[in-house]
Amino acid sequence: MDIVRNADGTLVVPVTPERRHDADEGAETAEGDQEATPAAEAEPATRVLHPGEGGYDEALAAWDLQQNPDRAPVVSTASGREQAMAIVHAVAEAPDAVAEAVEAVDDPEASGEALRHVLVGGVHSVEDFAAEVAEAEGGDPLPAHETTKIIGEVLSELDK
């Protein structure tokens, strides 16, 4: 089952059901009867993850890779990172202007690679990136969950 990214930034992720230890086939019960418990196939379950929730950053990175599984490993360049910071700052200021923010930079692909690199680093990488954006662009650092949500929106725009 694939990860699904909803318009509100939430992710629907597959969850492996808990393993149940039924009685072994042929095991005796307390009454001495023979009990055979067939192993039932568990149906796939899902869970909705919200930005900032544990596992969200990793799931977003997996979703991004799922969009283009043949993509080479992510590489962040200095100019791509600077442009990525500008995009994140612009989207934080005007949440409905994702497409415009992406179009405003010289190399959207390098920006996307830089953002993917941030996601691969996990929560601490996102927090550090948010602080770096605030230092470069001004203002207070965004909370990690807001930064991650913006990164997801930008990556979604780039994949169009």
Mean pLDDT, the chain, whole residue set: 83
Q: Of 41-45, 144-148, 155-159, where does mean pLDDT reach its minimum?
A: 41-45
* Dist CA 89 CA 69 (whole Å): 28
Residue 14 lies in a domain: no
Q: Mind listing the pLDDT tens digit for each residue in 94-114? A: 999 999 999 999 999 999 999
pLDDT category at 153 given cuts 50, 70, 90 is very high
What integer is the mean pLDDT of 128-152?
92
For the cut 60, the answer to whether the pLDDT of residue 147 exceeds it is yes
Fill in the amino acid letter for 78.
A
pLDDT category at 39 given cuts 50, 70, 90 is very low
Q: Where are the beta strands (DSSP E) in 7-138?
A: 11-15, 27-28, 34-35, 45-49
What is the three-class DSSP state of 106? coil
Q: How many domains does the chain have?
A: 1
Residue 90 lies in a domain: yes
The answer to whether 76 touches 85, Cβ cutoff 8 Å, is: no
Query: pTM of the full predicted structure?
Result: 0.66
Residue 124 lies in a domain: yes
Residue 107 lies in a domain: yes
